[in-house]
Structure 1
């Protein structure tokens, strides 16, 4: 399913859903952050996705990271909660979702970066290389907050 990100766009369609979702900020021993290139929009992003019934939200973070990257992680903390009502995602099935994403910090446990149906590429990326990638501004905010190791989680 295709998606279009609307960010601070006065012409954006009105949202018709809010879905609890996660992103996961994990770094390797060299400080590189794990990113995927999404198959639905071609942008680079932290791994993540929607919570499923019967799941604790931290389980969502572990499951989505494994599904999208082939990497197993352990949740260790919170980067932030991202709920900007001026960021909506329009899906090709008619859903228009207002952003609601919890970004977790996680520790690498095992696995090798491997693409999936949701990720055309998976890579450990150095901070200096981030500007060379196509990353949505909302996602870049989460990445930067994670790399900055903020004392308190972002709430916004």
Structure 2
């Protein structure tokens, strides 16, 4: 896939997380959660029960929306999609690059020496490594917005 094809594919989203949420007025097929089930889940989670009926209704609506969301995600056709083992590059080239072999360790073995006549032990070269370039790395160098020694993440979530 060329970079222009990839850009065209990513230019227009095919779905959004919002499309997986139930409508504001819950449909009849939305999962029904009873007050008793909510209190049981809260007790299992060691969370306090709601203090008012309004708070309980809000919790029930939120839980129902979350269950609806999970149900929508479960309906996605994943035929032919290999499971994600880790969040890293899993291509054959990356796996080959990450494979540790004797050749990879050759430099580390060269810094070892065996000492002792009767009880032989491996002694490694422990001379300090120059890490000046790592210590001077500007962590916030690529951050668009900063506040002191922190980077700022903008949220598009409406404030309640």
Q: TM over 0.5: same fold?
A: no
> Higher strand proportion, which one?
1
- Shorter chain as denominator, the TM-score bin is under 0.3
Greater helix percent: which structure? 2
Structure exhibiting the larger radius of gyration computed from Cα positions: 2
TM-score (norm 2): 0.21
Calculate the TM-score normalised by the size of structure 1. 0.22
Name which structure has the greater RCO, CA cutoff 8 Å, separation 6+: 1
